[in-house]
A and B are shown apart, each in its own frame.
Chain A
Amino acid sequence: CSDEKSLVDDVRPAEEIFAEADFNAIEGDYVEAAQGYDEVERLYPYSTLAKTAMIRSAESYYRGGKYDEARLAAQRYLDFFPSDDDAAYAQYIVALTYYDQISDVERDQGDTIRARQALSEVIERYPDSDYARDAVLKRDLTLDNLAGKEMQIGRYYLGRGHYIAAINRFRRVVEQYSTTSQTPEALHRLVECYLGLGVTNEAQNAAAVLGYNYPGSEWYVDSYALLTGQRLGPEIDEESWLSRNFRKIVYGDQF
Chain B
Amino acid sequence: CEPVYVNHGFAPQRAELDNIVAGQDTRGSVMRKLGRPSTVSSFDADTWYFAASKVKKFAFYAPEVIDRKVVAVTFNADGLVTDAKSYGLEDGQIIDLVTRRTPTYGREMTVLQQVFGNLGKFDAGQAFDPLSGGGSSGDPLGGG
Q: Do A's and B's CB atoms come within 8 Å in the complex?
A: yes
CB-CB < 8 A to A163: which residues of B?
51
- A198 touching B70 in the complex, CB below 8 Å, given contacts A164-B9, A232-B93, A255-B99: yes
Q: Are B99 and A192 in contact (CB under 8 A)?
A: no
**One of A159, A162, A185, A197 near B87 (C-beta < 8 A):** A197
Q: Are B95 and A232 in contact (CB under 8 A)?
A: yes
Minimal Cβ-Cβ distance residue in B for A100: B107
A17-34 residues at the B interface, CB under 8 angstroms: none
What interface size band does chain B fall in?
35 or more
- Chain A interface, DSSP helix/strand/loop, else mixed: helix
Task: List 22 A-B residue pairs with CB atoms under 8 Å apart, sorted by A's residue number.
Answer: A104-B108, A104-B109, A107-B106, A148-B102, A148-B106, A167-B42, A171-B42, A174-B42, A192-B97, A195-B95, A196-B93, A197-B70, A198-B88, A198-B90, A198-B92, A199-B91, A202-B42, A205-B43, A232-B93, A232-B94, A234-B94, A237-B96
B73-100 residues at the A interface, CB under 8 angstroms: 87-88, 90-100
Q: Please, how many angstroms separate the alpha-carbon atoms of A144 and B43 in the complex?
A: 22
CB-CB < 8 A to A73: which residues of B?
none
**One of A158, A202, A222, A255 near B47 (C-beta < 8 A):** A202
Q: Please, how many angstroms separate the alpha-carbon atoms of A164 and B39 in the complex?
A: 7
Where the two chains meet, the residues of A that have a C-beta atom closer than 8 Å to any C-beta of B are 101-105, 107, 112, 141, 144-145, 148, 151, 155, 158-164, 167-168, 171, 174, 181-182, 184-185, 188, 190, 192, 195-199, 202, 205-206, 209, 218-219, 222, 226, 231-234, 236-237, 247, 253, 255
**One of A101, A195, A222 near B98 (C-beta < 8 A):** A222
- Chain B interface, DSSP helix/strand/loop, else mixed: loop
Q: Please, how many angstroms separate the alpha-carbon atoms of A182 and B100 in the complex?
A: 12
Q: Please, how many angstroms separate the alpha-carbon atoms of A218 and B100 in the complex?
A: 10
Q: Are A103 and B107 in contact (CB under 8 A)?
A: yes
Q: How many Å from the CB of A106 to the closest CB on chain B? A: 9
Q: How many Å from the CB of A181 to the closest CB on chain B? A: 6
Q: How many Å from the CB of B32 to the closest CB on chain A? A: 22
CB-CB < 8 A to B104: which residues of A?
104-105, 144-145, 148, 182
